[in-house]
Amino acid sequence: MKKIILSIIFCSSLWSLINCQNVMLPKQPEKPIVPSSFVHASNEFGINVLEQLNPSPPEDANEEARSQYPEPKNVLISPFGLVSSMAMMYEGANGQTADQFAKVMKFDQMDKSTIPKAVHDGYDSIKSLTGLTYRMANALIGQDGIGFTDAYSKMIQDNFQAQSFESNVDLNDLNKIFADNMIERMIKAKPSDISMMLVDGTYFHGKWMYPFYEDESHIDTFFGRNDVTYNNVTFMRKFGRFGFTYLSDVEADMIEFPFEGDQIAFYGILPRDPNDDLSDIRSSLNVSYIEKMINKLSYKMDSTVELPRLNVDHEEEQLSEILMKMGITDAFGNDAKFGSISTQPAHLTRVMHRSRMIIDEHDGKRPANNDDDDSATGVAPLFYNFNHPFYYLIRHKQTGQIYMMGEVHTF
């Protein structure tokens, strides 16, 4: 039987009552945030897409039925990036094509004219922050002679961090808009046999509010499902006052790791069962539930956390199929109506989404006068070890906007 030091160890200790009393704790709202219509639509869409990418069998499925489902995979998406690309297509759609985008994306619950500004403001609100880097770039590539309208090309450039190209464009020119936003070699071959191809890329790397020091990082084992182990995984370690709460209905713990400035935070959701496939978490999450649980975070006790370094570069290839399954069907066929985008009939041939995220110490060097303040000497009543599958999201604390989310199952 594998031996795992897991999740939570409760100890009786007075240390947490006397230690960190003078530490500046993250700001916590008095009640759950009520996200704006755009943020709610963005987050809900991301949650739904992630559930489609790692489908779970029904609870009452027998063993044979369950065996037909693949093992869950590592996934990373950017809900904000995805919705920004969907919104720019919605802005150029007409008739039933626009109606389908509106229904699936919940854009029908807001004034269409406000959406470009919502995307623009959402990007500015994180891009302007110090201590972290979030970048987004979008491109709409059309067949030669598609005839993108000047008004549409200008609108997406002004509001959606996007440009339009015809497929005969030089590949280096096409990739430059992504490379300028930290996303290297986004498109590896010049698109061919397309009507329109939608490309979205995002990047995130942040500096912690409470640094993980490099001299605390160590090599250990990550335990996958069904007794699969991954050795030589680097884990960061930190002793401190992290926000935590127990999600009783999914038997998991949520821990908050704020980034510098305390406006953006990484939230890890760690099952107490190391063999959990995250299906209960995946199916239980919704926008209101996330905000409610985050509002319950407690900062009253010290904890020691171990979090693996992550350098994730994930390209999702199933989005076209997922969007059609969700109800956006006309956009991918001859019934597509994109009269505001092009002077010629056009439809979506492919949707490409790629996200890169780095979670590491971010040059976390221990200050020379801080030798005594380390997790090796701290005695914490709580211990959270992310050494088995977990769910995570990166969220703006004032607006609730989720910029990145995903799952870790393997290394």
Asked which of 19-23, 57-61, 64-68 is least confident by mean pLDDT, the reply is 19-23
Q: How many CB atoms lie within 10 A of CB 208?
A: 21
State the pTM of this model: 0.91
State phi, psi for 301 to the nearest 5 degrees: -135, 150
pLDDT in tens, 3-40: 444 444 444 343 443 344 445 667 666 789 999 999 99
Sign of the C-alpha dihedral computed for residues 129, 135, 138 and 139 taken in this order: positive
* Average pLDDT, integer, range 380-387: 91
What pLDDT score does 65 carry?
A: 84
CA 29/CA 36 separation, integer angstroms: 16
What are the residues whose beta carbons fall under 8 Å from the beta carbon of 104, sequence distance 6 or more? 45, 323, 326, 327, 328
Q: How many CB atoms lie within 10 A of CB 76?
A: 25
* Average pLDDT, integer, range 130-142: 96
What pLDDT score does 56 carry?
A: 86
pLDDT in tens, 200-258: 999 999 999 999 999 999 999 999 998 999 999 999 999 999 999 999 999 999 999 99
Residue 378, pLDDT > 80, answer: no
Confidence at 375, pLDDT banded by 50, 70, 90: very low
What pLDDT score does 23 carry?
A: 54
| Chain centre to alpha carbon of residue 379 | 32
What pLDDT score does 354 carry?
A: 95
Task: Give me the chain's average pLDDT, please.
Answer: 91
Q: State the first-to-last Cα distance of the chain, in angstroms, to the nearest integer.
A: 21
Give the domains, in start order, of the chain with CATH numbers.
Answer: 75-206+312-357 (3.30.497.10)
Q: Please state, for a pLDDT cut of 70, what percent of the chain lies above it.
A: 90
Three-class DSSP category at 131: coil
| Chain centre to alpha carbon of residue 221 | 24
What pLDDT score does 371 carry?
A: 54
CA 81/CA 87 separation, integer angstroms: 10
CA 14/CA 5 separation, integer angstroms: 23
DSSP 8-state assignment for residue 340 = T
| Nearest Cα residue to 385 out of 297, 272, 246 | 272
**Bigger pLDDT: 293 vs 8:** 293
Residue position matching structure tokens 């942040």: 206
Residue position matching structure tokens 């939570």: 8
* Average pLDDT, integer, range 63-75: 90
What pLDDT score does 9 carry?
A: 40
Q: Where are the beta strands (DSSP E) in 54-142?
A: 75-77, 132-142
CA 361/CA 206 separation, integer angstroms: 9
Three-class DSSP category at 207: coil
Three-class DSSP category at 36: coil
pLDDT in tens, 344-373: 999 999 999 999 999 999 977 787 766 545
Element (H, E) at 380: none
